Amino acid sequence: MIDVIFLLLTFFIYNLLISTPMRVMPIQFADAATGNREGIERLYVLRVDRSSVIHLGNDRVELSDLDAKLREIASHPSQPMLHILFEDEGDKDRVPLLWHLVERVKRAGIRNMTFVGRPGPEGTGGTGVTDGTN
């Protein structure tokens, strides 16, 4: 009898954890100005805006066209560098989109990629991300 009670208790606790709505955790990335571009002749920026619209450079790109564009970038004989930029906080959770984009970039054959953020206020050297020491 006690086993059944513990089983029900476990079921209700587990159900409570699953039914709790997830909150979006904001992620801030390091400043784009801190990177080193030695040996990189071509630099591309893949930007995701607040509403999860994807831009390659200044052009809006649909997910269906992204693979072809990435393969074209990867086909250059020089080592292309791809910066992936997510604008500040989005309207929804964009982590699944981030993983999806990383997989597409890897599949296209681009090995030099980095995640960047927008530069912070002048003199701060970044987006306000700290190492926790101050």
Q: Where are the domains of the chain?
A: 28-116
**What confidence score (pLDDT) does residue 73 get?**
87
Across the chain, what does the average pLDDT equal? 76
| pLDDT at position 60 | 92
CA distances for 49 relative to 5, 83, 132, 133, angstroms = 50, 14, 27, 30
Please tell me the least confidently modeled range out of 5-14, 17-26, 117-126: 117-126
Look up the CATH architecture of domain 28-116: 2-Layer Sandwich (3.30)
Report the pLDDT averaged over residues 77-106: 82
Helical pair 63-74 and 95-108, crossing angle rounded to 10 deg: 40
Q: How far apart are CA 72 and CA 21, in angstroms?
A: 40
User: Percent of the chain at pLDDT above 70?
Assistant: 69
pLDDT tier for residue 39 given thresholds of 50, 70 and 90:
low
Using one digit for the tens of pLDDT, what is the confidence trace for 51-61? 888 888 888 99
19-33, 37-51, 52-66, 102-116: range with lowest mean pLDDT: 19-33
